Structure 1
Amino acid sequence: MSPKKLFSLAIVLLVAGTTACAPVMREQIKPGDPNFAPVSFQELRQPAPVDGSIASSAPGFTLFGDKTAHRQGDLLTVLLQETTRSSKSAETSMSKEADIAIGNPRLFGRETSLGGLDLSIAGSSARSFDGEAEADQSNSLNGSISVTVSEVLPNGLLRIRGEKWLTLTEGDEYIRLSGLVRSDDIGVDNTVMSNKIADARIAYSGTGSFADANRQGWLGRFFNSEWWPL
């Protein structure tokens, strides 16, 4: 076997040894993540109300006002209408040439040599690089998800979080969302648009055999990564 083939085989074996366990070590996403779970029942306990003849301090009792989310534990429906599109292209070209020439050394104005040997040096080098990349990506997400108010900040902003899981034939699909909402952006029907959420974290993905079939293998990911020398 030629040295070139041996070198290529060594690289493949090295990559196989270091990344073979990658699919096993990949985190498995499951329902019930505490970062998206509703507020616990213990946190929603209210002191015993003291009823009066005109007003009451019981939770949810109000003579005037709407029923939109404004307290910890309230439900809020988020209308997902996300559309993104990006396009980018880059092109790089670089070249460099160098020439060097050193004649025989001169002593007292006359060229010298060593036993008649020519001591002059001449050389040249050239290198070039051409690179081109282009990306065009568009995404769209429409739907709705009901979340809970996990915290009411001192300035009145509502911190929301929640997740929705759909069990399908070949796996699960899920939507996870968290962020900050202004009470003024909540509609009378207790809904808010997703583009009104600050510090939004929206994830839509899936698990199971269908999602795995759309995932590139570890060897293909290596050849398309920056670690591949070619």
Structure 2
Amino acid sequence: MRAPIVAILAVVLFAGGCAQLPQPSLAGEPEWVEIPQPPAPRANGAIFQPDVGYRPLFEDYRPRMSGDLLTVVFNEQVSASKSSQANADREGSTAFVADTVPIGLEKLADYGIEVSGSNSFEGSGGAQARNTFTGTLTVTVLEVLPNRNLRVRGEKQIRINQGTEFIRFSGIVDPREIAGDNSVLSTQVADARIEYVGDGYINEAQTMGWLQRLLLNLSPY
């Protein structure tokens, strides 16, 4: 008898461990840019040293190389609504009464045929969603594409008591959309991936348990 009990306990413990299934990050896993160290400057007395990472003196310090930083300003306001309604009615009837019957079958005239039926359908539905996200996040240029667009990614972690909040962002930025203060609106970023998730006991309290999910999938109602 001990073997079945041990097996049941093992299954329960395994299922309990799978109650919090890890989900892949929407913005992708962190990527680190390796910036090579510049060679030692040559002692030739010149001011212009292209070998040590030349940047024009009077240019705007906008990101244009891997490893540069960029500030993303979140101003996401998305709303959508949908409604539908349909109805249909159908009625029909049939009647049959014999006016003349053969001799000896007069009583059958008292019996007629009358059939009637009706069918009606009415349905309606609607959905509405609204999302708002504001704030700022500094990201890193991971790659400069052949058309000079920038592939960026960044994240911020905030720990409050025993919970951690993660803010992640990734996308493609056109350098022409970058403002003079080295910032770009999130609405001007292509293929944007914005993720705001939490980790801790508060997040676990908002997650349905494994047994409840199992019963929900097996329930016919």
Aligned to 1:158: 150
Structure 1 CA distance for aligned equivalents of residues 29 and 183 of structure 2: 19
Matches within 5 A, 1:36-75: 36-41=29-34, 44-45=35-36, 48=39, 51=42, 53=46, 55-64=48-57, 65-75=59-69
Check whether the contact 1:83–1:140 (CA below 8 A) recurs between aligned residues. yes
Bigger Cα Rg: 2
Q: 1:228 to 1:95 in 2, by over 3 A?
A: farther
Matches within 5 A, 1:18-37: 24=18, 27-29=21-23, 35-37=28-30
User: What do the CA deviations read for 1:39-73 (whole angstroms, capped 9, x no partner)?
Assistant: 343xx336747857453233532243233211112
Structure 2 CA distance for aligned equivalents of residues 195 and 172 of structure 1: 26
Aligned to 2:120: 127
Check whether the contact 1:173–1:207 (CA below 8 A) recurs between aligned residues. yes
Q: 1:63 to 1:99 in 2, by over 3 A?
A: closer
Check whether the contact 1:49–1:57 (CA below 8 A) recurs between aligned residues. no
Gapped runs of 5+ residues in structure 1? 1-20
Aligned to 2:7: none
Q: Aligned pairs, how many?
A: 196
The CA RMSD over aligned residues, in Å, is 4.2
Is the counterpart of residue 175 in structure 1 residue 192 in structure 2?
A: no
Aligned to 2:70: 76
Structure 2 CA distance for aligned equivalents of residues 154 and 209 of structure 1: 45
Q: Match for 1:45: what amino acid?
A: P
Q: Match for 2:67: what amino acid?
A: G
Aligned to 2:132: 140
Q: Match for 1:71: what amino acid?
A: M
Structure 2 CA distance for aligned equivalents of residues 166 and 153 of structure 1: 31
Aligned to 1:209: 201
Check whether the contact 1:49–1:56 (CA below 8 A) recurs between aligned residues. no
Is the counterpart of residue 90 in structure 1 residue 77 in structure 2?
A: no
2:94 to 94, 101, 109: 101
Gapped runs of 5+ residues in structure 2? 1-14
The alignment's TM-score, normalised by the length of structure 2, stands at 0.66
Instruction: Report % sequence identity.
Output: 27
Check whether the contact 1:145–1:163 (CA below 8 A) recurs between aligned residues. yes
The alignment's TM-score, normalised by the length of structure 1, stands at 0.64
Q: Match for 1:165: what amino acid?
A: Q
